[in-house]
Structure 1
C-alpha cells in the first residue's frame, strides 16, 4: 500500500522502548555501578524514541489500507435500504461516518436510513427493531456494544437482517458469524497516541484525568491500552478515571470539575471522544485552575480547529470518512452472503505544531484527506464492480 500503517510503526518503536527499559534495569541491578557511561544516557535515548514515534503518528499515510477481495453480485442489491444506528447523533465523528456511508451506498443504488440511538438501550433497541420490521438489507450499529441491545440484535439476525457492529471490539459471547460482523475501532491506538504525547510533553511526570465513557465495554479497553503505555513508559505518571456517559451528558462538566479539584496535581484532562470535548472543557473551566491541558480522542473538525488555536493541546482521530466506506463494504458483503475481511482504521495524532498540512474545512473532513489520499473511494468502487 506504499507505507507502513501507524500501528505497525508503533510496534517496532515500542519494542525499542522495551529494550531500553531492560538496559535501565540491568544497569540498576548490576555490576557496573558508579562506572561512567561512554554512550548517551538512557533517558535521552528514550526521549528520542518517543519523539520519533510521535513524529510518525502525526503524519498521514501514503495510501489507505483498502481490502483486496472484490465483491460479486453488488448490482442485485440495488433498491435495498440499510439502517445506520449511531450510539448518539451528538458525536461529530459519527455524523461524518454517516455522510460517507450514505455516499458509498448511493454509488451502488442502496438507500440509507439513519436512526439516532440517543445513548440509551431503549432507543437503540427501538431503532434496530424498526430496521427489522422494515426488512432492511442490513443494520450498521456504530459504537454500540452488543449487550446494549442484545435482544434486538438477536431478533434482527433471526429475521434474516445481517448486523454490522462498527467501532466496537468483538464480543466473545456473540462472535462474528454469517449474520454478524464487527468493524474494528481505532480507539486503543488513539488512547495510546495521546498517552505518548502526554508523557513526552510532561517530561515523564504527568498527572492525568481521563473522562472514560461507560457506554459499553470497548471504551474501557481503549483506556486500558493507554494506561499500559503509561505503566511501561512513565512510572512517575498518575492516571485518574472519571466515568461518564452519553445518557448523562449534562453531568459531565460537574463530574469533571469535581474530579480535578480532588487532585491539585492534575495537569492533563482527556475527553475520550470528541462529543465530550465541550462538556470536558466546561468542567475544567469551572475549576478556575490555570495551566490544565485538555486532549481529545476521536477528534473531529471542531477539535482540530481548537488544536490549531491552542485551546486543545493535542487530539487523536481516526478517519471517519473511511470508516463509512468500510461499513458499506462490510454490509454489502454480508448482504451478498460473502465473508467480511479484516479492516484497519487509520489513526493520526494532531498537535499545534504539526497542523501545516491540515485543511480545516468540512469538505476536508468528509474526504478523509487528513489521514491519506482520498482515492480510497475509487478503490472501493473497483472492488464493487462499478468501474
Structure 2
C-alpha cells in the first residue's frame, strides 16, 4: 500500500539487472551470531510502542488538514488519521491531491487557516512554494513514508515516520533472516524499483547488513519500473532471471506489489520450489502464501500505528514538547517478520495488515492525558 504513494508521484527508469556482488570470505560463526542476534528482535510481534514520554498537559484543540493522495489506498490512511485526531477532540479536513500536484491541496489547507498539515508519500520538492508559505504562517507539516529529513523549526517538517532510516532497518532485518535461514549461503535476487529513494534506502540496508553479517552471501539486483509493475511484466522478468541464474535461492521483494503474480509464473516454470520468496510489507495475499508454503517470510509493518505516531508528533508540538531526537526515535515503527504459518494465521484476517502492538491506541491516549 505505501509504495502506491510513490508510484503516483514519481517517474521511473528503465529496468535492468546487475550481477551479484560476491565476497569470497566465508560467513564466520561470529558474523552469523550477529545476524541471529539482530534477527531475534524481529521474530515475535512487538508488545509496545516506541513513544513512552507523557505530555505535560492534554493538548489544546487544533484544526488539521490531511492531504490524501489519489490512490484509493490512501483513504485508509486518512481514516487512521481521523481516528487519532478524533481521540484528541480535534477537527480534521481531508483534501484530495493529484499525483503530480500536491501543492494545490496544501494551498487549500493553508488558505483554510488550519493549524497543522499532514500528508503521506509526497516529497517536499513537489510543493516547495507551499512549504515556504506554510512556514511563514507558522503551520507545521507532518509526514510519513518519504525520505525528507525533519528539522522541526529549521525546515518546518516535524515528522517523517517510516522514512529512509526505517526502510534501512526493514531491509536489514530481512537480510539477517536470509543469512540465518541459509546458514550463510544465501544467493539473493533483490527485486526493486530504483527510482524511489525509500526503496533504494531499503535495498542499501540489505546490502549493508549482508556485508556485515553474511560476507559469503551473494546479492543480485533486478531493477524494474512502474510500467513493468503496471503492465504485469515483473513475474516473467523474475522467472527469466532465475532460469539464467539457477544458483539463486531467495527472491526478495522490496514491496509486496512487486510479488503479485510471481508465484503463479514460477510454478508454471517449475521454479517455485527452488527458491524462497520473502519481502517487505506483507499483506493478506502474502500472509496466505506463508500459510500455504508459497512464501517463506514477509515483514509486518503497522500502517495504523504509523498514522497515530504522526498525530502524536502533532500533540507534542501543541504543548511545546516536541524534540527532534524523540521524533527520530519514533520514526521507525515497531515491526516483525512473519515466517511461520501460525504467525500468518494470527493476522491474515486483518484487512489492512498488522495494526500495531495490542492496545497501542489506549497507550497513546494515556500519554496524551486523555
Interval containing the TM-score (normalised by the shorter chain): 0.7 to 0.9
Change (3 A) 1:232 1:160: same
1:124 and 2:102 are equivalent in the alignment? yes
Aligned length: 334
How far apart, CA to CA, are the structure 2 residues paired with 1:356 and 1:256? 23
Cα offset for 1:246?
Answer: 5.3
Which moved further from structure 2: 261-270 or 309-318? 261-270
Counterpart residue number, 2:295: 312
Q: CA RMSD in A?
A: 3.5
How far apart, CA to CA, are the structure 1 residues paired with 2:129 and 2:288? 41
Cα offset for 1:320?
Answer: 2.0
Aligned match for 2:112, one of 116, 120, 134: 134
Change (3 A) 1:257 1:98: same
Cα offset for 1:162?
Answer: 1.7
Normalising to structure 1: TM-score of the pair?
A: 0.72
Cα offset for 1:105?
Answer: 0.7
1:172-220: CA deviation from partner (whole Å, max 9, x where unpaired): xx74326311333232221111111222233333332223244542321
Counterpart residue number, 1:176: 152
How far apart, CA to CA, are the structure 2 residues paired with 1:283 and 1:241? 19
Change (3 A) 1:298 1:366: closer
Counterpart residue number, 2:336: 348
Change (3 A) 1:274 1:88: farther
1:16-42: CA deviation from partner (whole Å, max 9, x where unpaired): xxxxxxxxx9xx9xxxxxxxxxxxxx8
Change (3 A) 1:112 1:239: farther
Alignment of 1:256-335 (within 5 A): 257-258=236-237, 260-262=239-241, 263-265=244-246, 266-278=248-260, 289-290=271-272, 291-334=274-317
3-state secondary structure, aligned to 2:52: coil
1:378 and 2:362 are equivalent in the alignment? yes
Q: Which of the pair has more CA radius of gyration?
A: 1
How far apart, CA to CA, are the structure 2 residues paired with 1:198 and 1:124? 39
| Residues 66, 379 of structure 1: 8 Å contact kept | no
1:305-359: CA deviation from partner (whole Å, max 9, x where unpaired): 3222222211112222221211111123345655243214102011025617824
| Residues 39, 173 of structure 2: 8 Å contact kept | yes
Aligned match for 2:55, one of 61, 70, 76: 70
Counterpart residue number, 1:218: 198
1:162 and 2:140 are equivalent in the alignment? yes
| Residues 167, 199 of structure 2: 8 Å contact kept | yes
Counterpart residue number, 2:167: 187
How far apart, CA to CA, are the structure 2 residues paired with 1:177 and 1:280? 45
Which moved further from structure 2: 316-325 or 53-62? 53-62
Alignment of 1:347-366 (within 5 A): 347-352=335-340, 355=343, 358-362=346-350, 365=353
| Residues 118, 142 of structure 2: 8 Å contact kept | yes
3-state secondary structure, aligned to 1:109: coil
Which moved further from structure 2: 319-328 or 159-168? 159-168
3-state secondary structure, aligned to 1:67: coil
Cα offset for 1:138?
Answer: 2.1
